[in-house]
Each structure stands twice: as structure tokens, then as C-alpha cells.
A = this chain, B = another copy of it.
Amino acid sequence: MLATRDLLQMGKGFERSNIASMAGYVPGEQLAGTGIIKLNTNESPYPPSPKVQAALAQITAKELRRYPQPTADDFRAAAASVHGVKSDQIIATRGGDELLRLLLTTFVEPGQRVGMTDPTYSLYPVLTAIQDASSVSIPLEDDWSLPADFAQRINAEGCVLTFIVNPHAPTGALLSQDTLEQIAKSLNGMLVVDEAYVDFVDNSEHDLTEWAVNTENVVLLRTLSKGYGLAGLRFGYGIGPADLISPMLYKTRDSYNLDMISQALAEAAIADQAYAKYTWQKVIKQRARLSLALNALGLATPHSEANFLLVTLPQQSKITAESLYLALKQEGILVRYFDHERMHDKLRITVGTDAENTVLLEHLTKLLA
């Protein structure tokens, strides 16, 4: 343990050394202005359920005088009912991000190792660094599939917790329940399956919840940011066995992590499964259309079960992904441009509405001509 004065003399001020040496997470670009077609941060192209607006209209500011439910019991009961699990197998969090942090705070000691794939959601290594733990990244195969010996390699590295985003970001590939069951069984540590995009899976029977609550080392992450059109509300939840949920719910969670309004609106949103499923089906249909049209323009897209497509330009393309990204931006269409290891010269395009996708394709047709 260093004395305060030593730390100050190291010229790092008061920050912990792991914080001083890390870089923060960079959130996706948000352009202001009307008429922008925003296909860069995987938000839903559809507004939330009309029942969310109805719940919002019911709320008066004077109710905000009182503290909210500390553990979001009404939302948790609604979510438990939707998933056929018990309330004590659910924790409600401020976006999925808070759950990721709570998992690290609760289950990972500083100095321990956290497993993930490369590429993956870029927040995992940032949160791992904040916990002063080490990220172990196992590269995906060239076709973006998970290496067959993934769990063995994670165990060999001594990881105590592993993040798998499924469907995968940024490729959209889906691992089956069988594959995940094998991995969870093989792992010495915990497995977190980040299901931020699970609402958009082709097969509507795909459902890991019953397995998760009955498996001692598995937690699922869900969010209302994508499938419920509520990115601005910051609401997510975790599903898992009560033994794993309980210490996060009653010990490490900030004591009032969710405000009264977002609890009420999230409850209205998750209770309206019919509307949510209607929007998921529309996204799935638009994804198929967009994918076919992009392929027809010579752009490769691996099969995606999420609400985005990873786009690779043909090798002989006269235009780079970066110039395509910039040209689209000039036309008021925002997509995500990647240029780092394993993600060289690629775009990630969120599936928009019918009209948005039409405008996008018109511009791409011109730009690639």
C-alpha cells in the first residue's frame, strides 16, 4: 500500500494508478438536428409502446418528492412474469451497463482475470480496467465463430468471469443454447451472456432464461435500450440464480439506483410484450431486406441475428469504408465506422425503418456506382 504522499509524488495526483493509466469509454456519435438518419448506435427505429406514453402522462412531478422503490419491485415482478422466473432471480439496473459493472464489483477481485472474445462490446475491457482486473481476449476465428476450445483457453488463463455477447456485437452471430451450456459447464468461473440484442433473433423460441436461473454460474443481461425503444430511459436487468442476483441486489447496487419515473415506464414497456414483438418482427424483416440489398451492391454482410449488419466492402472497391462513412454522414446518414485490429475498414449499420433503409440504399447505390 502506497502512502498518499507517495502517490502524489508520483505525479498522478489523487487518482488510482489503474484509473490514471486507462482510457475512458467513448460513446457513439450523437448528431443533433432533424432529418438525420441515425444508424450508428443500434437504437430501435420504432418508438416505445403507447403504454409507455400513457404511463408517462400519469406521472406528476409532486410524486418525485419521495424516494423510489429501492429494488424496483414492481418492475421485477413484471419482468419475472414475462420470463416465467421468480422476482429474486431478477435485478433491475440503470441500463445493461450498470449490471456489467455490478458483476465485476461483486464477483471479480482486483488483479483477477476476465474473459471475453475479440472483437466484442468495447465497454467490457474498460469496466474491467476500472475494477483493476485484467482482460483476457480470445480471438474469434476468421469467420467470426467462437474457437472450439474457448472455455479451455479461458480456464487456462484463470478467468473468474467471462462476458459473451449473444447475438454477437459487432457481427450479429448467434451462439445456440447447446453451445453456451457446454461453455458454462466447462468454465471454472462465471459466464455472463449479454443478450442486449436477443430480441431480434430469428427463432422466437430461442430463450435461455429457464436454463440461466437453474445454472449456478450464469447470468443473462437484458436491456430496454434496443428491443423496447428506450435507450434514453437507461433501464436493463439481469436474470440468473438468486445466489448470484442477491449480492448485487442487496449489497453492491447503489441503494436507490433507479428513479421513480423510469421504474414506472419500464414496467409499462415490458408488460406490453405484444407491441414489443411486433416491432422486433418489423426489424427482422427489414434486416433481411437490407442484407439482400447490400449484398446486391457487392457489400458482404455475415448472417446477423441482431438489429445491425457488419458490412465489408469488396477487396477491389474504389472507395474505402471510411470514405463511405464520411460520404453518408455528409448526406445526414450516420453509420458506425470501424478501423482497428480484427475490424479493419468495416461499417456497422443499424437496421432502420423501411423509409430510412430506402434512403440509405439509394445513397449507397449512388456512392458505389
A residues sitting closer than 8 Å to B (CB atoms) are 1-5, 7, 13-16, 19-20, 22-25, 27-28, 30, 38, 41, 43-44, 46-48, 52-53, 56, 59-70, 94-95, 97-98, 101, 105-112, 123, 130, 132, 158, 160-161, 188-190, 216-217, 225, 229-235, 243-244, 247, 250-252, 254-262, 265
Tell me how far the C-beta of A133 lies from the nearest C-beta in chain B, rounded to whole angstroms. Answer: 10
Task: Kindly list the 5 A-B residue pairs having the minimum CB-CB distance in the complex, ordered from nearest.
Answer: A232-B260, A47-B62, A64-B232, A53-B61, A24-B251
Nearest opposing residue in chain B for A49, CB measure: B61
Tell me how far the C-beta of A199 lies from the nearest C-beta in chain B, rounded to whole angstroms. Answer: 15
Determine whether the beta carbon of A65 is less than 8 Å from that of B47: yes
Tell me how far the C-beta of A242 lies from the nearest C-beta in chain B, rounded to whole angstroms. Answer: 11
Determine whether the beta carbon of A47 is less than 8 Å from that of B61: yes
A19 to B248, CA, bound (A): 9
A62 to B230, CA, bound (A): 8
Nearest opposing residue in chain B for A69, CB measure: B30
A61 to B54, CA, bound (A): 9
A56 to B22, CA, bound (A): 38
Q: A30-B66, A53-B60, A65-B43 are in contact. Are A256 and B244 (CB under 8 A)?
A: no
Choose one: B1, B64, B252; the contact of A48 (CB below 8 Å): B64
Contacts of A97 in B (CB 8 A): 254-256
Nearest opposing residue in chain B for A160, CB measure: B4
Contacts of A243 in B (CB 8 A): 13
A113 to B217, CA, bound (A): 32
Contacts of A27 in B (CB 8 A): 67, 70, 255-256
A sample of 11 cross-chain residue pairs with beta-carbon separation below 8 angstroms, ordered by A number, consists of: A4-B160, A13-B216, A14-B107, A27-B67, A43-B67, A47-B62, A48-B62, A53-B60, A56-B61, A64-B229, A234-B256
Nearest opposing residue in chain B for A103, CB measure: B14
Determine whether the beta carbon of A4 is less than 8 Å from that of B247: no
Nearest opposing residue in chain B for A161, CB measure: B14
Nearest opposing residue in chain B for A104, CB measure: B16
Given contacts A2-B109, A15-B106, A48-B65, 10 further A-B contacts (CB under 8 A): A4-B158, A4-B188, A16-B107, A16-B108, A25-B255, A44-B65, A65-B232, A233-B259, A233-B260, A262-B262
Determine whether the beta carbon of A252 is less than 8 Å from that of B47: no
Determine whether the beta carbon of B258 is less than 8 Å from that of A234: yes
Nearest opposing residue in chain B for A261, CB measure: B261
Determine whether the beta carbon of A247 is less than 8 Å from that of B65: no
Determine whether the beta carbon of B61 is less than 8 Å from that of A48: yes
